[in-house]
């Protein structure tokens, strides 16, 4: 299967700052909205937080050496904004910058291409307290932060992404309330989403001035399939799909906000300045795609627009997240997306499965389910590329088990097992399979 990918294709893995770094109080790092969210009882299923996480902040050098042993050619990480600007504005904190200097230089010394995300949800708490993404000023602060990052690291980064999954940050954080800041208001969600888009646009402009690296954003995609051809189910699936897959992408690619959805949101639709749409639609060089599952959808009038309810597929296999394993959706989304937006280059910024593989037997976790998940998704990726979608890298989620947001440490996505008592890393059988696969 390796031969189905071009020689220049990069295989790697991804993580994010809050999920692995720990050291939340060290070297001048300010607090983030996730630190605060974790202190509220009931928000995190196992009452945990990212204070220690995988302690990657202290174990960075050996973690990168492990990536090298696993033959990884690329590594996607995110920068913790509160390490760089503890209060979300003003001068950069040199100790924070120095950590990412070391990380990037160590990656390069090991021949691993650095993919850097500026924002993977750990907003400085000071900005959160000033309204977070509901405050337009946060977008301007993000542009300042992007200047700092581009200036300092722009000579060594392969690809930058401004934001990770604005859909998830907006909808799960402001409508479902399962992520920081824990709001449950549709109107606020759409305002937050718009300001994130604006931050992205201004962030790209800022980075462009500072760095020759490839620039883009990371979007999560998920097909919505109606359970049957009843018109109500079809419409719920079409609109659910639209919100998930096009609400952000359409304005990013100069198409404005999708009309059917604007009408569906009705009074909840935010007001905005038309000039914003121009700022949002900055040319991009490479788009990151996160893909995990699909949604089998039926209409439910008790739910707000798009009245979409996700139902279980009795014939399908599910991961430990309760997500249907559906590799064909990756081919579908990439080909559909490419037809509509014709992006120059894509990379899979995340793809992977959580499985209940916490037990080490004879020195290893035998996670054949994860290996199979990856194999099938790599096949689906190759199929999309065979249909002409230009994809240049695949980054597995995740390098190691880590803090899975509201689910704490109860879900494991890693290729590498983390023992949270000792913080020992042990490659699972999937990591060994991936290492051999990359070697070809
Ligand atoms: C996020 C990751 C998360 C993963 C699994 C993605 O939405 O970017 O941070 O761990 O999904 O839930």
Q: For the segment 162-177, what is each residue's pLDDT rounded down to a tens digit?
A: 999 999 999 999 999 9
Maximum alpha-carbon separation in the chain: 61
Q: Does residue 305 sit within a domain?
A: no
Residues with Cβ < 8 Å from 37, sequence gap 6 or more?
Answer: 43, 44, 179, 180, 181, 182
Catalytic residue among 21, 310, 332, 350: 350
Residue 140 has pLDDT above 80, yes or no: yes
End-to-end CA distance of the chain: 9
| Closest ligand 1 atom to 19 CA | 9
Percentage of the chain lying above the pLDDT 70 cut:
100
State in Å: Cα 346 to ligand 1 middle.
18
Distance 434 CA to ligand 1 centre (A): 20
Q: 316, 310 in Cβ contact below 8 A?
A: no
Query: For 53-74, what is the mean pLDDT?
Result: 99
Q: Answer yes or no: is pLDDT of 358 > 80.
A: no
Higher pLDDT, 360 or 308: 308
* Average pLDDT of the residues in 272-291: 98
Q: 397 CA to middle of ligand 1, Å?
A: 8
Q: Quote the pLDDT of residue 439.
A: 96
Region 289-298: mean pLDDT is: 98
Does residue 225 belong to any structural domain of this protein? no
Binding-site residue numbers for substrate are: 19, 120, 164, 292, 397, 404-405
420/424 Cα distance (integer angstroms): 8
Closest CA to 301 of 395, 236, 227: 236
> Residues of the chain with pLDDT > 90: what percent?
98
Exposure string for 395-418, b = 16+ CB within 10 A, e = fewer: bbbbbbbbbbbbbbbebbbbbbbb
C-alpha distances (whole Å) from 82 to each of 104, 110, 215, 218 are 18, 27, 22, 20
Give Cβ neighbours of residue 94 (< 8 Å, ≥ 6 apart). none
What is the arrangement of strands in the sheet containing 224-226, beginning at the earlier edge strand? 224-226, 295-299, 308-310
Closest ligand 1 atom to residue 218 Cα is 8
Ligand 1: residue of 117, 165, 410 to mutate (most ligand atoms within 8 A of CB) is 165
The reply to whether 405 falls in a domain is yes
Q: What is the reported pLDDT for 361? A: 84
Q: How many other CB atoms are there within 10 angstroms of residue 97's CB atom?
A: 18
Please state, rounded to an integer, the average pLDDT across all residues of the chain.
98
Query: What are the DSSP calls for 153-205, one per residue?
Result: HTTT-SEEEEEE-HHIIIIIHHTS-SSTT----HHHHHHHHHHHHHHHHHHHH
Provide the pLDDT for residue 295. 98
Is 103 contained in some domain? yes
Q: How far is CA 106 from CA 62, 99, 112, in A?
A: 10, 11, 9
From 414, 395, 396, select the one nearest 404 (Cα to Cα).
414
Task: Give residue 190's Cα distance to chain centre.
Answer: 19
What does the pLDDT average to over 189-209? 98
**Ligand 1 atom at minimal distance to the Cα of residue 404:** 10
> Does the pLDDT of residue 317 top 80, yes or no?
yes
Any catalytic annotation for residue 165?
yes
CATH number at residue 89: 3.20.20.80
* Residue 295 belongs to a domain: no
- Across the strands, what pairs with 229? none
What residues contact 160, with CB distance under 8 A and at least 6 apart?
115, 116, 117, 118, 149, 150, 154, 207, 211, 213, 214, 215, 216
Any domain includes 243: no
Is 242 contained in some domain?
no
**Please, are residues 239 and 161 in contact by the beta-carbon 8 Å criterion?**
no
Closest approach atom of ligand 1 to CA 398: 10
Instruction: Indicate if 350 belongs to the active site.
Output: yes
Residue 133 pLDDT > 80, yes or no? yes
The active-site residue, picked from 165, 210, 324, 332, is: 165
What is the domain count for the chain? 1
Residue 26: inside a domain? yes
pLDDT at 359 > cutoff 90: no
* Nearest residue by C-alpha to atom 9 in ligand 1: 16
Would you give the distance in Å from CA 350 to the centre of its chain? 7
- Answer whether 308's CB lies under 8 Å from 356's CB: no
Q: Is the pLDDT of residue 94 over 90?
A: yes
Which residues does residue 199 pair with via DSSP β-bridges, in sequence order?
Answer: none
Range of the structural domain that residue 35 is part of: 2-220+329-335+343-439
Pocket residues for ligand 1 (CB within 6 Å)? 16, 19, 164-165, 168, 220, 290, 350, 397, 404
363 pLDDT band (50/70/90 cuts)? Answer: confident
C-alpha angle 343/77/49, rounded to 5°?
125
Q: Region 303-316: what's the mean pLDDT?
A: 97
Task: State the Cα–Cα distance between residues 381 and 4, nearest whole angstrom.
Answer: 10
Q: How far is the CA of 427 from the centre of ligand 1 (A)?
A: 20
pTM confidence score = 0.98
Q: What is the pLDDT of residue 357?
A: 83
């Amino acid at each position: 299967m390796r031969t189905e990918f071009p020689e220049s294709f990069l295989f790697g893995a991804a993580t994010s700052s809050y999920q692995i770094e720990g050291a939340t109080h060290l070297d001048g790092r300010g607090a983030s909205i996730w630190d605060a969210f974790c202190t509220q009882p009931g928000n995190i299923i196992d009452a945990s937080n990212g204070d220690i996480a995988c302690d990657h902040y202290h174990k960075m050098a050996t973690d990168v050496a492990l990536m090298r042993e696993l033959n990884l050619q690329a590594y996607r990480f995110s920068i913790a904004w509160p390490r760089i600007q503890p209060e979300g504005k003003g001068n950069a904190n040199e100790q924070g910058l120095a950590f990412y200097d070391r990380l990037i230089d160590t990656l390069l010394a090991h021949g691993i291409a650095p993919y850097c995300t500026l924002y993977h949800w750990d907003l400085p708490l000071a900005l959160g307290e000033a309204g977070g993404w509901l405050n337009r000023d946060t977008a301007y602060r993000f542009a300042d932060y992007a200047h700092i990052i581009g200036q300092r690291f722009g000579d060594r980064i392969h690809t930058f992404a401004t934001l990770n999954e604005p859909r998830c940050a907006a909808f799960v954080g402001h409508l479902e309330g399962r992520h920081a800041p824990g709001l449950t208001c549709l109107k606020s969600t759409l305002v937050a989403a718009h300001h994130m888009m604006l931050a992205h646009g201004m962030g790209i402009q800022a980075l462009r001035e500072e760095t020759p690296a490839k620039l883009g954003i990371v979007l999560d995609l998920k097909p919505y399939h109606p359970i049957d051809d009843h018109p109500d189910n079809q419409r719920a699936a079409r609109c659910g799909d639209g919100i998930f897959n096009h609400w952000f992408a359409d304005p990013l690619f100069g198409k404005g906000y999708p009309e059917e959805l604007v009408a569906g949101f009705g009074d909840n639709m935010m007001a905005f300045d038309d000039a914003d749409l121009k700022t949002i639609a900055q040319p991009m060089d490479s788009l990151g795609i996160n893909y995990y599952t699909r949604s089998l959808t039926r209409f439910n009038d008790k739910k707000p627009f798009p009245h979409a309810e996700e139902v279980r597929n009795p014939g399908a296999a599910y991961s430990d997240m309760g997500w249907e394993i559906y590799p064909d959706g990756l081919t579908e989304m990439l080909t559909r997306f490419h037809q509509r937006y014709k992006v120059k280059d894509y990379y899979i910024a995340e793809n992977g499965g959580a499985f209940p593989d916490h037990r080490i037997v004879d020195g290893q976790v035998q996670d054949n389910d994860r290996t199979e998940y990856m194999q099938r998704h790599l096949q689906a990726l190759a199929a999309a590329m065979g249909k002409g979608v230009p994809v240049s890298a695949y980054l597995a989620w995740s390098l190691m088990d880590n803090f899975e947001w509201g689910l704490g440490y109860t879900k494991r996505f890693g290729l590498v097992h983390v023992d949270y008592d000792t913080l020992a890393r042990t490659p699972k059988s999937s990591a060994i399979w991936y290492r051999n696969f990359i070697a070809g």
